[in-house]
Amino acid sequence: MSHPFKKLYFVWFRFGGGATMGCYQPFLACRDLGIPATVIGEKELYSKINLIKDSAIFIMKRRLNQNVVNMLRNNNNKVIRYAGDGYENLELDYFKNIKNLNGAIVGSESYKTKIKQTSPDIPVCVIPANHDMFLDDTLFQKERNKKFKLYFGGSRSSDGLLTQGDLGLKKSFEYSEGYFHSLAYIEKNMKNKPSKEIEDYVLSVASLGKCKMLEELKLSIENPSRYSCHYAIRAPFSVSDRGGPYQKYMQWNTKTGGKVSTAAASGANIVTSLDPSVRVLIDQNYPYAIDTETQYFKENHDEICKEMVLKAKETFGTKLWQDGLNILKDVKNRTRTHNITLEYVDFITRLYD
């Protein structure tokens, strides 16, 4: 199959989940799918910028300055930005002022609408977050089916304002916590290596199950597939107050729904808010979803979250529980890295028409 671009560059700027799961895993999918692709970091982008031509440049989250965008465009490249989960105020300002950007990928319809209101000329596509391709929902299936076990995965809110999905989460829920970072070996040991060395490691070691750190992580208590129920509650009134000209920084419309896709990939249910990005994947018919946009929730959120966790616990193993799992089976298929990568490529290809 031919493609309108010479190569698809996945470009990362901070070596974390965005780089490993958002760049290297789609790169692996591209290799499987016969799509010419590579991954480079910020330093290599700048050092090789005059050599990158006739290609599609997938920018992971960073708000590139105008000069860099122009330099890439001048070499007949298409520049596409994965907007990620940045602060809405800053994001919309960026899209309003940037020129020459070919397209943007976001996680929710509301985020797309807000961008189009101020920047109607930028093509915007809604694509949900992929789940980690190294998760395996068969590995701990018996463990999940045996007992209700609650899990909160990922990073915590650093500002104490509960924007990472930990709103209403209490110690009394007796939950476990962890971070399944499947390519952590690269972050710890290789992030300053040339991109070719990292690519070779991902292709010949990690993807073939030869990475000792990854294999140990799969068997550890941090593996989300060990838990029958996950937790991710956010609300539009949870904002970061950093002061300065913007005062409050909202992420309600910009979050990407990754915790729901992770639960689905793990074979688990999830107590979840219906964030704009979550509504791309499920709706109010999902039995453990909470509408957190109401005034009633704002005034009673701790009690409502507690009641939903209790509902999940009491219905564990029942028909309602299975209904939830069946809904998430569709989410798992939609958010497979290979399927999400095909959505990226389809959107990018349409930019050449």
Domain chopping of the chain, boundaries: 8-130+337-350, 141-180+222-334
pLDDT tens digits, 100-141: 999 999 999 999 999 999 899 999 999 999 999 999 999 999
| Predicted pLDDT at 191 | 82
Shortest CA distance to 64 belongs to which of 40, 45, 44, 77?
A: 45
| Predicted pLDDT at 256 | 86
Q: Residue 321 carries which side chain, given as an amino acid letter?
A: W
| Predicted pLDDT at 245 | 47
| Predicted pLDDT at 158 | 62
Region 191-209 average pLDDT: 90
Inform me whether the pLDDT recorded for 83 exceeds 90: yes
For the chain, the average pLDDT equals 92
| Predicted pLDDT at 104 | 98
Contact by Cβ (8 Å): 258, 131: yes
Contact by Cβ (8 Å): 86, 59: no
Higher pLDDT: 154 or 36? It is 36
Inform me whether the pLDDT recorded for 162 exceeds 90: no
Same fold, 8-130+337-350 and 141-180+222-334: yes
Pick the CATH number of 8-130+337-350 from 1.10.10.60, 3.30.465.10, 3.40.50.11930, 1.10.8.60: 3.40.50.11930
Shortest CA distance to 266 belongs to which of 91, 127, 140?
A: 140
Q: Give the fold, CATH level 3, of 141-180+222-334.
A: Rossmann fold (3.40.50)
Region 196-201 average pLDDT: 92
CA distances in angstroms from 106 to 87, 129, 160, listed in the order given = 13, 9, 25
**What's the pTM value of the predicted model, to 2 decimals?**
0.93
Which letter does DSSP use for residue 4 in this model?
A: S
CA distances in angstroms from 285 to 160, 210, 290, 302, 334, listed in the order given = 31, 41, 10, 22, 18
Contact by Cβ (8 Å): 290, 271: yes
